[in-house]
Amino acid sequence: MAKFNDFMKLDIRVGEIKEVEFFEEANKPAYKLWLDFGDDIGIKKSSAQITDCYSQEELIGKQILGVVNFPPKQIANFISEVLVLGVYSDKGVVLIEPSYIVNNGDKLG
């Protein structure tokens, strides 16, 4: 079982989606995302398989939660710097988002 200290190692922050592109080269349908995690962290990139539940247009401006302290991962020709958090549902992946607007970069505590 995971210990509480294992969870505390994760740096989970709020990021705002600023730009979205369809990820043509991905093996499974996905988007390339550019997320603003505030002044301390800045803009980070992520690949997310969320095309079943979200259009590109509706993602712009959405605040989501992401793990910002995993090492970068190359996916096809794209470097994903953040793990965007979501729930696997029967409709597809549903993003985890704050219920109120908060500051970009705010940390899950």
Q: How far apart are CA 87 and CA 5, in angstroms?
A: 23
DSSP state of 27: S
- Provide the whole-model pTM: 0.94
Quick one: CA torsion of 80, 31, 52, 12, rounded to 10 degrees?
A: 40
Arithmetic mean of pLDDT over the chain: 97
DSSP state of 90: T
pLDDT above 90 covers a percentage of the chain that reads 99
Q: How far apart are CA 101 and CA 95, in angstroms?
A: 15
Q: How far apart are CA 109 and CA 101, in angstroms?
A: 16
Q: How confident is the model over 46-88, as pLDDT tens digits?
A: 999 999 999 999 999 999 999 999 999 999 999 999 999 999 9
Annotated domain spans of the chain: 4-95
Q: What are phi and psi of 4, to 5 degrees?
A: -55, -40
pLDDT above 70 covers a percentage of the chain that reads 100
- Work out the pLDDT band at 109, boundaries 50, 70, 90: confident
Architecture of domain 4-95: Beta Barrel (2.40)
pLDDT at 45: 98
Give the HSE-up count for residue 108: Cα atoms under 13 Å, Cβ half-sphere.
19
